Chains A and B, each alone.
Chain A
Amino acid sequence: MGAFDELVASRERPIVTAEFPSMDGGDLDTVAEAVDRFQPYVDAVNITDNPAAHAHASNVSMAIAVKQLGLEPIMQVVCRDKNRLAIQADVVGAQMHGVTSFCALTGDDVTAGDEPEARRVFDIDGPQLVSIMRTLSDGTYLSGRSLKHHRELLIGAVENPFAPPAHVRVRRARMKVDSGARFLQLQIGYEPEKLEAFVEGCGDNGVCRDAAVLPTVILTKSAGALRFMESSVPGIHVPGDVIDRIASAADPLEESYQLAREQAAHALSLPGIAGIHITDFRHDDSVHRLVHDLRLGPAFSTEGATTHASTTRASTTHTQTA
């Protein structure tokens, strides 16, 4: 078991995961720069799989690169682009390179992307993928054929507490946990009462006990980013008053940060929540600032906490001491 796996099991402190930027070519130096940006502040990064149905450097190649550079990758796998054979091959191939954390998603439809003419696959769905990953973790392919060598995988999944039907989301979270998910990353949302209801339901049905539930906090720069999500990103709803708050602020950049910070603090205040997942669209020092303000993540896990707590948020150059 790796450090991330152990943390998911022990939850001795809040977990911080973040979305790793997708890449379109370049070389390993480009990946290394991004790894350096995240490494001191997060426990693992999600390696996306053609997010929003746009082609990028593959999840397998990026997960291997990130692993070799010393940061824990969570390799996301979506069901949109590949059938069950190809998906199993990707998981087993990545595992051979030391990638052991995976996150199963159904995936946005091809119509959300820039090649809507593509054939959608969906040979399997998100909950089935979780179960198939567990099969691989246990040492066989879906067919029953044995893997010659196998390692235990840390399997995760996602759920959207903000999309209807609300009570079904809680049940679906349970289905994914029963199928093998040990962590659950939640979709972005701006309706705290829906998150509260979902987490309460996941407390009642044992999901929060059996899996590390990580709500997503998104760092944006402006009202324009919120409007874009509202109009163009499937499954995300941004209420008008939230957009107005940023649009009418004297300093929209700062107000956007404060919004994310409030979201993170709210999520972490809910009973049963194991940490947060951060999506950063600001590409500045905000991830550092957020984990510092909330005293979260590896930078605050040991004696390093004292050192970090005494630094100011302006000290963008400090590195992990623990």
Chain B
Amino acid sequence: MLRSLLPIVEHAVKGPVWDCQMCGQCVLHETGMTCPMTCPKTLRNGPCGGVAVDGACEVKPEMQCVWVKANHRAENLPLLPQSWRDEIGHLRAPVNNSLAGDSSWMNLVSGADRKTPSGWKGSE
């Protein structure tokens, strides 16, 4: 019951505010409260090299690059803890596509959102 209800509640809350794409492994706090899954390339460690001089997205020029926005917000949003501001520079693991559609809240509690493949070494 909870498993099927929570994603609906989560999307109802995060959809309108952050355009949440329900990847099931939320990193909003690490990315200046800007959802990286709204990047047309779904980059978790952006920005790519295609950003225009004015900060426009390569794929959708009418939109500001998600990562330009994320970095600006990580540096300037009030009330963000310093650790959240710093985390934007950390290497995030490849998305676990099997979690798509899940509630990230549930995966946060269970730890499933932080589980990475055995071979993943990150940037150690």
Contacts and interface: CB of A to CB of B under 8 A. Distances in A.
Interface of A: 79-80, 84, 105-106, 108-109, 111-112, 120, 122-128, 131-132, 134-135, 138, 140-145, 158-160, 162-165, 168, 171-172, 175, 178-179, 187, 234-235, 237
Contact of A123 (B50, B89, B97, B124): B97
Chain B contact residues (Cβ within 8 angstroms of A): what range?
Answer: 35 or more
B13 interface: no
A178 B123 CA distance: 5
B29 interface: no
Interface of B: 40-55, 58-59, 65, 67-68, 71-72, 89, 91-95, 97, 117-124
Given A84-B94, A106-B49, A128-B94, A112 B58 contact: yes
30 contacts: A106-B41, A106-B43, A108-B58, A111-B58, A111-B59, A112-B58, A120-B40, A122-B41, A122-B42, A123-B94, A123-B97, A124-B94, A125-B45, A125-B46, A125-B48, A126-B48, A128-B91, A128-B94, A131-B91, A131-B120, A142-B117, A163-B47, A163-B49, A164-B55, A165-B55, A165-B68, A172-B45, A178-B91, A235-B51, A235-B58
A211 B50 CA distance: 23
A164 B43 contact: no
B68 A143 contact: no
A187 B94 contact: no
A154 to B, nearest CB: 17
Given A108-B58, A175-B89, A165 B71 contact: yes
Contacts of A168: 47, 67, 71
B41 A109 contact: yes
Contacts of B121: 131, 134-135, 138
Given A144-B117, A178-B123, A108 B45 contact: no
Contacts of B118: 140, 143-144
Contacts, number: 124
Most A CB contacts (10 A, CB to CB) among B50, B91, B95, B117 go to B50
A187 B118 CA distance: 33
Contacts of B50: 108-109, 112, 163, 234-235
Contacts of A142: 94, 117, 119-120
B91 A175 contact: yes
Contacts of B97: 123
Nearest to B93: A128
Contacts of A80: 41
A322 B119 CA distance: 42
Nearest to B118: A144
B29 to A, nearest CB: 18
A174 B117 CA distance: 23
A164 B41 contact: no
B33 to A, nearest CB: 17
B122 A179 contact: yes
A185 B62 CA distance: 29
Contact of B51 (A111, A126, A134, A163): A163
